[in-house]
A and B are shown apart, each in its own frame.
Chain A
Amino acid sequence: MGVAVYVPLLAALLLGATADPISRVLPPATATRALTAAAVVLSAATSFVLGVLAFTLLGRLRPVAELGRWSVASLSALDPVPQGVAGLACAAVLVLGARGLRVGLRRCRATLAVRALCLRLGGEPGQLVILDDDADDVYALPGARGRIVASRSLLAALPAAERRAVLAHEAAHLRHHHHRYRAATELAVAVNPLLRSVVPAVRFATERWADEEAALTTGDRAVVAHALARVGVRRHSPPDPSGGWRTLALDVTDSGTVARVQALLAPPARRRPAALLPLAILVAITVSASVEAQRDAEHLFEQARPAPPVSAVAVASSST
């Protein structure tokens, strides 16, 4: 088997190393979509090639070989992948599969907790719910029937324009379903830890996206910057170790507040479609390498099959 099978792993390493700068260079909505899509494709591709590598070892087990009708001896003789590598791939498939399952289940549980909380809070989807808490806090509870939640003290402390900016920011989170991008990248990273840095990068990009929407609503980028700074200083949200609804809440200031304030005070970023090119090339190379790896594997197992008797070939060809 050629080197194609290792290319997706390399690509994932590369995306992991560049996700953070990408999230800062591209316009936030583009960065969010591109990073999420790339992470999903790359994690699918790495899962696939890990599966292929693992199968070169599994294929040597007698029951599997009998089922596939290839010879264990000739498969071992062709020796496509070092046994150690194939063994590692087997272990990785098991561990990463379990991780993906765990992250997915945790996500489902948190989603149910958010839904229950929304019901308890009352009101309509997208509506602001004001809590009489002492702690200053504001966040969006995601989902089609999500809510915006804010403490009375924080709202009362903000000037009207900044309050508007904060509400517009949270409404943008809900309107553009930012939690879906976060869920997709979290799952992708669960099955491919090489992509780890994509999660904070997408988190940052979605926050910037909501900031820019708020700037459009208020018509003043500086107002959004001031609101962010003020909320960042005042906000106090208790951590939620239980993995409940809080893990899904979209907070105003939970990612890179300083960088976001700077971005808002700078002139708006120009669109640079060319910056997408490296990412597109990376994804294209990964996909074609995965296809190549699949062909390689098919060829390998084909070779390991004993040649069919001539009569069988004659029957097969005459019947077509």
Chain B
Amino acid sequence: MPADGEATRRDRGALENEVLASLAAGAMTPRQVLGQLGGHLAYTTVMTTLARLHEKGAVTRESSGRTFTYALADRSSVQARAMRRSLDAAPDREQVLARFLDELDPADVPVLRRLLRREQAR
């Protein structure tokens, strides 16, 4: 039934927001998130929600032992992900990159140069 689908989609959105909000206090394992949110959820639900948020780029994760520690993605990584996604969607990557450089704010050029140098030095 369409009404049911609507309700589940809404619940999923609400759950994602809740899990995301609980990470505002700092990085956590799924177990810790579950402890924060209280008894109305199952562990696997929290796990899949965190995985989905990670897929969307809203959270970052680091492996710690057998599990992951999740943290809020900072705004720059969310935005960088959006830029990369639109680059990935382009049929001709090189042309898009070239056009992007053409239209770059002159003030950004030295910044980009510095970042590239740092990347090469690594």
Contact yes or no, A127 B22, CB < 8 A: no
Contact yes or no, B74 A132, CB < 8 A: yes
Residues in A neighbouring B38, C-beta threshold 8 A = 160-161
Residues in B neighbouring A298, C-beta threshold 8 A = none
Which size class do B's interface residues fall under? 20 to 34
In the bound assembly, the distance between CA atoms of A44 and B56 in angstroms comes to: 46
Contact yes or no, B58 A163, CB < 8 A: no
Contact yes or no, A163 B72, CB < 8 A: no
In the bound assembly, the distance between CA atoms of A276 and B82 in angstroms comes to: 50
Residues in B neighbouring A132, C-beta threshold 8 A = 74-75
B18 at the interface (CB under 8 A from A): yes
In the bound assembly, the distance between CA atoms of A148 and B24 in angstroms comes to: 14
A150 at the interface (CB under 8 A from B): yes
B79 at the interface (CB under 8 A from A): yes
A254 at the interface (CB under 8 A from B): no
Residues in B neighbouring A164, C-beta threshold 8 A = 18, 37
Contact yes or no, B21 A130, CB < 8 A: yes
Residue B13 contacts which of A152, A171, A217 (CB distance < 8 angstroms)?
A171
Residues in A neighbouring B82, C-beta threshold 8 A = 122
Contact yes or no, A152 B22, CB < 8 A: no
Contact yes or no, B14 A150, CB < 8 A: no
Known contacts being A152-B24, A175-B10, is A160 close to B36, with CB within 8 Å?
yes
Q: Which residue of A lies closest to B72 (CB)?
A: A130
Contact yes or no, A122 B79, CB < 8 A: yes
| CB contact list, B5-37 vs A, under 8 A | 10, 13-14, 16-18, 20-22, 24-26, 36-37
Contact yes or no, A167 B14, CB < 8 A: yes
In the bound assembly, the distance between CA atoms of A15 and B22 in angstroms comes to: 44
The B contact surface, by secondary structure, is helix
B47 at the interface (CB under 8 A from A): no
Residue B17 contacts which of A128, A156, A161 (CB distance < 8 angstroms)?
A128
A66 at the interface (CB under 8 A from B): no
B46 at the interface (CB under 8 A from A): no
Residues in A neighbouring B72, C-beta threshold 8 A = 130, 152
In the bound assembly, the distance between CA atoms of A20 and B32 in angstroms comes to: 46
Residue A156 contacts which of B18, B24, B37 (CB distance < 8 angstroms)?
B24
The A contact surface, by secondary structure, is helix
Contact yes or no, A155 B21, CB < 8 A: yes
Q: Quick one: CB contact mask for B34-68 with A, threshold 8 Å, 1 for yes?
A: 00111000000000000000001010000000000
| CB contact list, A124-176 vs B, under 8 A | 124, 126-128, 130-132, 148, 150, 152-153, 155-156, 160-161, 163-164, 167-168, 171, 175
Residues in A neighbouring B58, C-beta threshold 8 A = 123, 127
In the bound assembly, the distance between CA atoms of A155 and B20 in angstroms comes to: 10
In the bound assembly, the distance between CA atoms of A153 and B21 in angstroms comes to: 10
Contact yes or no, B18 A130, CB < 8 A: no
- A148 CB → nearest B CB, Å: 6
In the bound assembly, the distance between CA atoms of A122 and B21 in angstroms comes to: 16
Residues in A neighbouring B56, C-beta threshold 8 A = 123-124
Chosen A-B contacts, 9 in total, with CB atoms closer than 8 Å, are A126-B13, A130-B20, A130-B24, A131-B75, A156-B24, A161-B38, A171-B10, A171-B14, A217-B14
Taking A122-B78, A167-B17, A168-B14 as known contacts, 9 extra A-B pairs with beta carbons closer than 8 A to each other, sorted by chain A number, are A123-B56, A123-B58, A123-B78, A126-B13, A156-B25, A163-B18, A164-B37, A167-B21, A171-B17
- Chain B residues engaging chain A, CB cutoff 8 angstroms: 10, 13-14, 16-18, 20-22, 24-26, 36-38, 56, 58, 72, 74-75, 78-79, 82
User: A-B pairs with the 8 shortest C-beta distances?
Assistant: A155-B24, A128-B17, A156-B25, A156-B24, A152-B24, A155-B21, A126-B13, A128-B20
